Amino acid sequence: MTRQALVTQAYQTYFGAAPQMVCHAPGRVNLIGEHTDYNGGFVFPAAINFGTDIAASARDDRQVNVRALDFDNQLVSFSLDDIQFDNTHSWSNYIRGVLIALMKDYPQIKGADFVVSGNVPQGAGLSSSASFEIAVLKCFASLNELPLDGIQAALKGQQAENEFVGCSCGIMDQLISAMGKKDQAMLLDCRSLEIKYSELPAGFNLFIVNSNVKRGLVDSEYNLRRQQCEEAAEVMGLESLRDTDLIKLEADKDKMSEKAYLRARHVITENERTLKMCEALNNGETATVSELMRASHMSMKNDFEITTSQIDYLVEVIHQELGAFGGVRMTGGGFGGCVVALVPDHLISQVQNAIEAKYQAETGLKESIFICTAEQGAFA
Ligand code: GLA
């Protein structure tokens, strides 16, 4: 059964009627451009064929009743007029947060009954929470016929994270979940929010491997990285690290902490790599793509310090098989989660075999491999 059919059937069971609508929002994988979004820089993600599905109907009052199939079918109910943080059902805070953000512009929305379920692996760096937020926004926008576009929805999702959930994330995850396109990656300028799509090259696969490293301290480390970037920008008298280059950074090196310097060096070089990667992919220059993804990984490892030994190992195993015929790097916020590789058709089984033979033996962790496709965003 498809997930859409699953939520539709569950809606019928729990609410005793057919749902008015069903909607879907995808998770994402980032090809390159890590921790650049909140520095006003460039990112290059794709939406993937994992996501969140919702079956819903509007109510005549301001009540919201939600069943979460992935959390033991838990029921959460609240009024739009009294939204509080929920420590017991923490998954529901994504819904609460986006509804508060949405009601800043649309205070009169109606309540809803809905069922939600998703298949984005949680805590794996594939944006299960952004896909959840965007699915909820799509659902309320449709039920209330709101003129909400994908960029506005992404900003609402980010606001929910920043102001309600407590994560200082950037705009990338919500924006790609809203605006992704089938078979395309999306180059996003996170300052102007200008979007350019790039066809993913034929014959290459979006090969994603979950390291299954348990992520710890993610939010605090993430927020710390963001502060260190802000420190570097402030010392350099800049609004964001987008506005500088390595020459200026070297000139100001002594004015900032060693960590701030390293973080800034990652952001500056990563922005350059992201633009080059988009160009190289468009021109079919696989060897350049390979080098850029490798350099990105090394920069995340040495300068931004967000990889783990298991992830570094996984990247090495894949890199050894791919050579210059594909690319591999960690993807997402870091401290665990997934690696992304662009793998040509003819190397798929070779790469897969190498991982299966080596990763668990070295790290004690069993990987999960997903060969994904790029999909349409919820508002695209
Ligand atoms: C998380 C955040 C994004 C982005 C990435 C790192 O996924 O939600 O905004 O900062 O980390 O690139």
Q: Could you tell me the pTM of the whole model?
A: 0.97
Residue 170: CB within 6 Å of ligand 1? yes
Ligand 1 centre from 35 Cα, in Å? 6
From 42, 131, 159, 173, the mutation candidate for ligand 1 (largest count of ligand atoms within 8 A of CB) is: 173
Ligand 1 atom closest to the CA of 35, numbered from 1: 12
Ligand 1 centre from 119 Cα, in Å? 19
Contact in structure between 144 and 110 (CB atoms under 8 Å): yes
Residue nearest to atom 11 of ligand 1 (CA): 333
Residue 34: CB within 6 Å of ligand 1? yes
The reported pLDDT for the residue numbered 217 is 59
Ligand 1 atom closest to the CA of 167, numbered from 1: 8
Query: What's the CA gap between 238 and 258, in Å, rounded?
Result: 18
Residue nearest to atom 8 of ligand 1 (CA): 169
CA proximity to 22, closest of 46, 69, 54, 49: 54
The reported pLDDT for the residue numbered 231 is 97
Ligand 1 centre from 329 Cα, in Å? 15
Residue nearest to atom 10 of ligand 1 (CA): 35
Query: What's the CA gap between 277 and 322, in Å, rounded?
Result: 17
Bridge-partner residues for 338, per DSSP? 210
Contact in structure between 143 and 112 (CB atoms under 8 Å): yes
Active-site residues, by number, are 173
Contact in structure between 53 and 131 (CB atoms under 8 Å): no
Residue 27: CB within 6 Å of ligand 1? no
Residue 37: CB within 6 Å of ligand 1? yes
Contact in structure between 152 and 2 (CB atoms under 8 Å): no
The reported pLDDT for the residue numbered 262 is 98
Handedness of CA 274, 278, 283, 288 (dihedral sign): positive
Q: Which domains can be identified in the chain, with CATH numbers?
A: 3-197 (3.30.230.10)
Name the stretches of the chain with pLDDT < 70. Answer: 216-218
The reported pLDDT for the residue numbered 42 is 98
Residue 133: CB within 6 Å of ligand 1? no
Please report the DSSP string for 49-103 in residue order: EEEEEEEEEE-SSSEEEEEETTTTTEEEEEETTB----SSSTTHHHHHHHHHHHH
The reported pLDDT for the residue numbered 216 is 65
Contact in structure between 280 and 292 (CB atoms under 8 Å): yes
Residue nearest to atom 9 of ligand 1 (CA): 170
Residue 327: CB within 6 Å of ligand 1? no
Ligand 1 centre from 304 Cα, in Å? 13
Residue 113: CB within 6 Å of ligand 1? no
